[in-house]
Amino acid sequence: MIASVRVNEAQIAASVQRAQAALAPDVVRIRYSFADDWTGDPSIFFRVVLTDEAFHRGRPSEMAERVSTTVRSEVDPDQFGLHSYFNYRIVSELAERPEPSWA
């Protein structure tokens, strides 16, 4: 938990699962962590793994907008006083360069 805010981690976990299910099959998984951002504000950082097909099928910016809108709608980080940030990887990228925090 971030020292300056109180979050309901079970509620956030359930909300992330709902968002992930709503975005399937294009989204393989969504992970997240809490930390202060570069300005010191409490934040939630989402790590989203997309299928290669979803990434290459359309415009990456449109996919990112769809994901962030869906996740923010389900999780509603503002209710916890959190800024939200999103990072994206595709399955083949993680296969080439595995990162434990994305597993």
Rounded to an integer, what distance in angstroms lies between the CA atom of residue 15 and that of residue 9? 10
- The pLDDT of residue 4 is 55
- The pLDDT of residue 8 is 85
Rounded to an integer, what distance in angstroms lies between the CA atom of residue 20 and that of residue 71? 8
- The pLDDT of residue 5 is 66
CATH topology of domain 9-102: GMP Synthetase; Chain A, domain 3 (3.30.300)
Rounded to an integer, what distance in angstroms lies between the CA atom of residue 80 and that of residue 72? 12
SS3 assignment, position 18? helix
pTM score over 0.85 = yes
The rounded average pLDDT for each run of 10 residues, N- to C-terminus, in the chain (103 residues) is 69 96 96 95 96 86 93 94 95 88 86
How is residue 51 annotated by DSSP? P
